[in-house]
Amino acid sequence: MSKSDHDNQNAATAAVTATAGAPSPGRRRLLTGIGAGAGVLATQWARAADTGNTGHQVTDAPKARPDQSQSYPFFGVRQQGITTPRPASGMVVAFDVLSTDRADLERLFRTLTERIAFLTQGGKAPEVDPKFPPPDSGILGPVIAPDGLTVTVAVGSSLFDDRFGLAPHKPARLSRMPGFPNDALNQQLCHGDLLLQFCAHTPDTNIHALRDIVKNTPDLLELRWKQEGTVPPTPAQTRGETKSARNLLGFHDGSANPDVNDSALMERIVWVQPAGASAGSDGAAPEPAWTANGSYQAVRIIRNFVERWDRTPLQEQESIIGRRKSTGAPFDGHKESDVPDYARDPKGDVTPLDAHIRLANDRSKGAAAHLLLRRPFNYSNGIASNGQLEMGLLFIAFQADLDKGFIAVQTRLNGEPLEEYLKPIGGGYFFVLPGAASRSDYLGRGLLSA
């Protein structure tokens, strides 16, 4: 997929294979004890953990000097990292689940809940006898700052195979991501039983959290692939509109993203509703009851052919995207937040009919049914084998209905002129679990109790 107004490039490499063999029974008891003893430091309980918005939008450019003491509530009926502001560093990591029965799967979800609750709130790293391996990597020091960290847990369609008897409870619209016409998917960078999305002000905080989880789940998870990304921070603005950050094509990425401060809108386009409310008027199957307050997550690693793009005339670049590169404004507007008026431009004399933003959202009455919430990051993975830069967009989007959201939008974008400059190479479809409502709850409880 692509996007500047609805996404833009993505790409990745970094298939990481975890090869930590199963530990001895004694060492496994030690690791389990460490995880249980670390404790959970939660600063606040809330109806939804994914709150903390103070008028900001998900794709606003992050602050140049972030507050490392910042934390978002963990406990709540919804998870963090969806509508919370996007920080400067992001990472998605896909895993294969090694659990062999429901008891082990529950242990995995309980362990993830415990570790994420601690990591996102921060605190003093636990200590043990120095004759044993330290329970914490130490890369953040003896006191772990929350650093705005959010960790979002989602599951893939492969978790609903015959291993755990979960097939009858699979989210109604969850499927394995297929290849679209312009894709060149590397299967080593696709899919997974479980996906963790890490977002923090600094990349070391994400790496610290990943290593903590890997250390505490050696017999439960195996790394499948990962992709890190960044967002360029900007100095604090004292006046004027807050702009979205730019992608590696140089355009603002996040323009026209739905307003996360509009709770009614978020209920409609992002969050799966309680049983019965999610059954569409088109006769689509209703969602299982346990999925309420979850969300579908589409992840795409989209490589950008930046060398080719940089040799393309500015006028052509803007025509392909449908916005001014300098300001992010549509052709019939003056600032990024201006809404293009396609009704007054039916033949595409102002904004070409095949411009990216027009295909992604044609502003028609029915287009509102296909809105999705984007949370993209730029990535750079060194140099490809052909000597070109390996970089692009880590595209992430959330929606209550995967078919009406990402899949419908991507289908409209198939064949767009922007495809000449990008190539999706990885990713997958996942379902974000509802949150852990309290300290006595755990992520995935509703699924396992269904």
**End-to-end CA separation in angstroms for the chain:** 34
233 has which bridge partners?
Answer: none
Identify residue 247 by its one-letter amino acid code: N
Burial 360-390 (b: 16+ CB within 10 A, else e): bbeeeeeeeebbbbbbbbbbbbeeeeeeebb
The reported pLDDT for the residue numbered 238 is 57
Please answer whether residues 91 and 14 qualify as being in contact, where contact means their C-beta atoms are separated by less than 8 angstroms: no
C-alpha span between 79 and 372 (Å, rounded): 17
C-alpha span between 261 and 192 (Å, rounded): 32
pLDDT tens per residue across all 450 residues of the chain = 443 444 333 333 333 333 333 344 343 333 344 343 333 333 333 444 555 455 688 878 787 778 899 999 999 999 999 999 999 999 999 999 999 999 999 999 999 999 999 999 999 999 999 999 999 999 999 999 999 999 999 999 999 999 999 999 999 999 999 999 999 999 999 999 999 999 999 999 999 999 999 999 999 999 999 999 999 987 666 566 678 999 999 999 989 999 999 999 999 999 999 875 544 446 678 999 999 999 999 999 999 999 999 999 999 999 999 999 999 999 999 999 999 999 999 999 999 999 999 999 999 989 999 999 999 999 999 999 999 999 999 999 999 999 999 999 999 999 999 999 999 999 999 999 999 999 999 999 999 999
Q: Which residues contact 114 (CB under 8 A, 6 or more apart)?
A: 35, 36, 38, 40, 442
Please answer whether residues 43 and 71 qualify as being in contact, where contact means their C-beta atoms are separated by less than 8 angstroms: yes
In terms of residues, how long is the chain?
A: 450
* Beta strands at 377-383 and 389-399: parallel, antiparallel or unpaired: antiparallel
Q: In 10 A of CB 57, how many CB atoms?
A: 18
The reported pLDDT for the residue numbered 20 is 34
